[in-house]
Amino acid sequence: MKYQCTKAMLDNLGEKSGDLLPRTGDEDSFFAWHVNYCIWNRHKVVMAMNNLTHYCVFLYRLKPKDMARIEALLQEAIKRAFLMEGVSEKMIRRYFEMAGDVGYSQSANRSMTSKMNALVRDAQFNARFLDEKTIFQSALSLRCSRMYRDRQDRLKICQVFQMAMQDICGLEGNLQAVVPSLQVSVTLELEHENVFRRLIVPSCISFFQFHTILQEIFEWQNCHLHEFSLGNNDKITMDDFDDEIGLYGDGIQIREESHVLLKDVFPEKKSCTYLYDFGDSWQHEIIFEREITGSTLHATLLEMIGQAPPEDSGGPYGYEQNLACLKDREDPAYEETLQWVTWRTGYRYFYQYKKDKLPVDLYIW
Domain-located, residue 240: yes
Q: What tens-digit pLDDT sequence spans the chain (365 residues)?
A: 999 999 999 999 876 666 899 988 898 999 999 999 999 989 999 999 999 999 999 999 999 899 999 999 999 999 999 888 888 788 888 899 999 999 999 999 989 989 898 888 989 888 888 888 889 998 889 889 888 887 676 788 988 898 888 776 664 445 555 578 899 999 999 988 899 999 999 898 889 989 999 999 999 988 999 999 998 789 999 876 655 555 666 678 889 898 899 999 998 999 999 999 999 999 999 999 999 986 567 789 999 999 889 888 889 998 888 878 888 888 888 888 888 777 677 666 677 778 888 898 886 55
Question: 91: domain range?
Answer: 2-169
**Cβ pair 205, 182 in contact under 8 A:** no
- Answer with the one of 169, 200, 215 that is the final residue of a domain: 169
Side-chain half-sphere of 68: how many Cα atoms within 13 Å?
3
Domain-located, residue 174: no
Q: Are residues 139 and 257 in the same domain?
A: no
Q: Provide the Cα torsion 91, 173, 170, 32; round to 10°.
A: -70
Q: Are residues 149 and 195 in the same domain?
A: no
Q: Are residues 153 and 189 in the same domain?
A: no
Q: Are residues 128 and 185 in the same domain?
A: no
**Cβ pair 363, 298 in contact under 8 A:** yes
Domain-located, residue 190: yes
CATH assignment at residue 102 = 3.30.420
- pLDDT value for 46: 96
The count of structural domains within the chain is 2
Q: Are residues 143 and 205 in the same domain?
A: no
Q: Are residues 202 and 163 in the same domain?
A: no
- Answer with the one of 127, 147, 169 that is the final residue of a domain: 169
Q: Are residues 156 and 218 in the same domain?
A: no
**Cβ pair 17, 5 in contact under 8 A:** yes
Spatial separation of the C-alpha atoms in residues 116 and 47, rounded to whole Å: 9
- Answer with the one of 149, 169, 189 that is the final residue of a domain: 169
Q: Are residues 75 and 8 in the same domain?
A: yes
Domain-located, residue 345: yes
Q: Are residues 79 and 99 in the same domain?
A: yes
Q: Are residues 214 and 319 in the same domain?
A: yes
Q: Are residues 218 and 273 in the same domain?
A: yes
- pLDDT value for 173: 47
Beta strand 360-362 pairing with 299-305: antiparallel
Domain-located, residue 175: no
CATH assignment at residue 313 = 3.10.290.30
Q: Are residues 196 and 155 in the same domain?
A: no
Domain-located, residue 276: yes
